[in-house]
Chain A
Amino acid sequence: MNQPNLVELNNITKKFPGVTANDQVNFSVRPGEIHVLLGENGSGKSTLMSVLCGLYSPDAGDIIIRGTKMQFRSPRQAINAGIGMVHQHFKLIESFSVAENVILGDQSIPQVLKMHQIKNYLTKLSQRFGLQINPSAMVWQLSVGEKQRVEIVKMLYRGSQVLILDEPTAVLTPQETGELFRTLREMTATGRGIVVITHKMHEVMEIADRVTVLRRGRSVATLEKQQINQQDLAWLMVGQDILRQEKKKIPPGDKHVLELKNVHCLNDQGLPGLTDISFTVHSGEIFGIAGIAGSGQRELAEVIARLRPVSSGDVLINNQAITGCSPRQAIDHGVAMVPEDRLGTGLVPNMDAMDNLILKSYRNKSLRRGPFLNRTLTREKVNQLVSRFEIRLNAPDAPVKLLSGGNLQRLLLAREITSDPQLLIAVYPVRGLDIKATEAVHNLLLEQRSKGLAVLLISEDLEEIFKLSDRVGVLCDGRITGIRPADATGVEEIGLLMMDAQNQGETTI
C-alpha cells in the first residue's frame, strides 16, 4: 500500500477547436488494481487516456509516473515509461504478420531482423499470460478477439506496467469478455496496473477495484470498490435520471417487407462473406441483428442496399426481387439506410447540410425546374427538416464534417426517414453518441416502427438490441445461427449463438 502510484494525472486540461475535452481532470493508477474509467460517449475518457499515452499533449496539467513528473512528447516516451494503450480501433497493420506488429517501433532489437528468434520469444511471452497468438499469422486473417490479444501482447512485449484498454468489450461476445477479464486479473497479480475505459455500468460492478466517473470532460467522482453502486454511478455519469421510454407493444404487421432467400455473397477479400442467409422482416417490426463485429454485418447491409453483388439467392422487397437491381433502383424500391460510416458514405463531409439532405432525392421530379435543380424549393424543404428533427447547424453553408456526432446522425436519419422508405437499415445507429442523442435516435426508430416501417437494426450492443427489437437474428461468421423473439431469449443464449457454440463444439479463446 505504501508503493507509489504507477500513474498520477493532475489537473489535466485538453482543448480541441470548439470543445474542452478534459477540464482539470485528476486520475491515478495503483499497482495491482483495475481502475475503471466510466463515462458516456464524448465525456473525454479516450482523450484523457490519449494524453497519458503520449498521443495528445495536454494544454495544462501534470503527468507523474512512479513519482517522477514526465512530459510525453510522443507515444514512444510513454511506452518507454511503461504506459501501454490498447485502442478501441486497433492500431494494427493489416498487411503485417503478428510478430511484425508486435516488434514495430522497438529500437532495442538489432537492425537486421531475425524473425525466427523473435517469433519464438513471442510465443513464450504470450503463453506466460495465457494469451494464445500465432506470431506468424497475418493480422488481416485474425478475428477481432485475436487482434485484441495481439494488441495486449504488443504492450506486454514493450514492458508496460500500466495497461490501458479503451472499450475492450465492445467487440467481444459475453463469453469472450469473461475470458478477457480473467486475463486482466492475472496481470494485476504481477503488480501491473490496468485501466479499463467503458460506458457499461455492469462491467464496473464486475471488475473494478476503483472507478472514476467522467462527465462532460470533468471528473465527477472516484470511488473505491466498496462504495460502488449502480444507481449512484448512473446518476454520476449522466447528471440526471434517465427516462426510458418503454417499447410500445403494438404487434408487428404481417406484410413481408424484406425477405432474404438463401443469400450468399463474397467479402472484400473475395472469401465467402455471407452464407445461406434467409430471414423476413415484417412491416412495423424491428429486426435486430446481433453478432461480434466482422461477422458479416456490413456485407448484409450492403447486399440489401444493392451495394454488393449477390453470388446466389434472392433479396425481395414487398415480394418483388431486387437482386439484380442497381443501388439507385433499390432506393426507388424504398430501401433506406443509415450506414456504418456516417461521414464519408452516409454524408459527404465537405458539403453543406442542404446538399447532403438532397443526396437521395436530388433526382426527384419535385425538386426539378427544367434541367436545373430547384434551389429555392430545396432550401425550403431543408429548413423544414432541420427544425422538425432539431438539427443544430452552426452555419447553414458550413461543411457537415464540422457537426457533432449526434447532429450528424439526426441529419442522416432525417433524410432517410423522410424519403418515405419501406425498409430502414440502421447500422450501428448510436455508435459514438452520448446518452441523450442515443435516446433521441432510439425514440425515432420506435416511432417509425409504430408507423409501420420495417427496420433492420444492426448493432454490436446487446442492450440496444433487446431494448428495441421484436425479433433478434444472430450472425456468426457470415451465417445466421439463430432467430429468436426478443422477449423469449436472453443475453446468455444470444451470446452462445454469437459464437455458434452449439455447432462448433469448442470455443476459440
Chain B
Amino acid sequence: MIKLPGTNLLIEKKLSPDPAAFFVVPVISILLALLVGAFSLALSGRDYQQIYATMFSGAFGSTYGLSETIVKTIPLTITSLGIALAFRMQLWNIGGEGQIYMGAFAATWAALFFPVGTGWWTMPCMILLGMLAGGLWALLTAIPRAIWGVNEIITTLMMNYVAIFWVNYLVYGPWKDPQGYNFPLTATFPPEAILPTLGVSRIHFGLFLGLLLTVLMYAVVQHTRWGYEIKVTGESVSAARYAGINSKRNILLVMFFSGAICGLTGMTEVSGIAYRLQPGLSTGYGFTAIIIAWLARLNPFAIVLVSFLFGGLQVGGYIVQTSGIPSSMVTMLQGLLLFFVLGGELLTYYKISKAPASSGQDT
C-alpha cells in the first residue's frame, strides 16, 4: 500500500485485475482526453461544443463521413495489428511509419516498373512485394536486436526518417512523372494495380484484407504454438529460454511479420487511395497505431473498434481544419488519450481506498 501524499487515500494492489476496468478505463480515458481538449480550445477562445459537434457529425453523421472514416480505419487497423504483434513480444516497433513507406515503395515498383509489365499478376505481386519490403526493413533492425540486443526503439525510429527520405528522393527524382507538371508524384497506376472500391465510395478492398488479417491474427496469437511462444517470450525472456523457446529466431520472425503487415498498409494506401507514390502518403499511421494497439490491449478485435474511433477522430479533425483548428490538435488529443489510459491502468491493477481511521478496520 502507498499513501498518496497530502490525502488520506491509499493505493493498494488488487488480488486480481478487475475485468470491468479493462472496458471502463479506455472509455473514461477518451472522455477525459476530450475534456482536456475542450479546455484548451476554450482557452484559445473557441466554441469547443460546436467544434466537437462538427467533428462528430462530420465523421459519423453522414454516409460520406462514415465512408471516409472507414477509409481511415483501414490503414489504422492493419498497421495496429502489425505493431501489436511486436508489442506482444515486448518488441517496441516504433518504425511502422517507415515500414509503410517501404511497402508503398515496393508496391509502386511492382505497379509501374515491373520488368514484365502489368497483368493478372500485378496485384498479388504488389501485395507480396509490399509486405516483403516492410518486413525486410523491420528485419534490418531485428537482426542487431537479436544478436547483440541493440535497442530497437531507437533503430526502428531512425529507419522511419531514412525510408521517408528514400521515397522523397524517388518522387522528386528518378520516379517523378514526366507528365506531372513537376509535382513530386509518380505516374498514375495502371488499372490492374488499383484495388477495387465499394460502389462510389473510396472504401477499397483493403477493408477485407484488414478484417481477414484481424481474424488471422486472433487465431495465430491466441491459438497456435507460435502465438503461445510469443506471449511467453514477451512476459519473461528467462522463462522462455528455460522452456526451450528460441527467442532470437522469434525476434526475427515477429519483427519481420510486424514490418510486413505495416508494409501491407503502404501497399493498400498507394493502390487503394492515392493510385501513385507521393510524399506524405501516411499521416503518421505508424505512430497512431502505437496508441491504438495499447488502447486495445493488443486484442485484434478491439483494434478494429479503436481504429474506427480514431479514424473518426482524424476525419473530424480534417473537417474542422477549415475553421482554423490545426490538425495538430488531433495528435495532441491522441497523446493525451495515451496518458489517461496509462494512468487509468492504476484503476485496473490497484484499488484506491480511504486510509483507515482505526486499527481494526479492514481496507
Contacts and interface: CB of A to CB of B under 8 A. Distances in A.
A349 B242 contact: no
A368 B224 CA distance: 9
Nearest to B233: A348
A372 B224 contact: yes
Interface residues of A, number: 45
A327 B242 contact: yes
A220 interface: no
Contacts of B238: 341, 344-345
A344 B232 contact: no
Contact of B241 (A57, A327, A373): A327
B243 interface: yes
Contacts of A337: 242
Contact of B359 (A60, A371, A399): A60
B16 interface: yes
A368 B239 CA distance: 22
A17 B243 contact: no
A359 B16 contact: no
Interface in B56-110: none
Nearest to A307: B241
A373 B228 contact: yes
Contact of A360 (B17, B219, B244, B363): B244
Interface of B: 1, 3, 12-17, 219, 223-225, 228-229, 231-232, 235-236, 238-239, 241-246, 356, 358-360, 362-363
Contacts of B236: 344-345, 348-349
A259 B4 CA distance: 57
B224 A344 contact: no
Contacts of B231: 351, 355
A372 B223 contact: yes
Contact of A61 (B219, B225, B356, B359): B359
A337 B244 CA distance: 12
Nearest to B360: A60
Interface of A: 11, 13, 15-18, 57, 59-61, 305, 307, 326-331, 337, 339, 341, 344-351, 355, 358-360, 362-363, 368, 371-373, 375, 394-395, 398-399, 402
13 contacts: A11-B359, A16-B1, A17-B13, A57-B3, A326-B244, A330-B244, A331-B243, A341-B238, A345-B241, A355-B232, A359-B239, A360-B243, A362-B228
A348 B225 contact: no
B232 A359 contact: yes
Given A337-B242, A344-B236, A371-B224, 17 more contacts: A57-B3, A60-B360, A61-B359, A307-B241, A307-B242, A327-B242, A327-B243, A330-B244, A331-B243, A344-B238, A344-B239, A345-B239, A346-B242, A355-B231, A372-B224, A373-B224, A402-B16
Contacts of A375: 223
A224 B229 CA distance: 57
Provide the main secondary structure of the chain A interface: loop
Nearest to A24: B359
A339 B242 contact: yes
A348 B244 contact: no
B359 A345 contact: no
B298 to A, nearest CB: 13
Contacts of B239: 344-348, 359
Contacts of B16: 394-395, 398-399, 402
Nearest to A350: B235
State the 8 A-B residue pairs at the shortest beta-carbon distance, nearest first: A60-B359, A328-B244, A327-B244, A345-B238, A372-B223, A398-B16, A348-B235, A359-B243
B225 A363 contact: yes
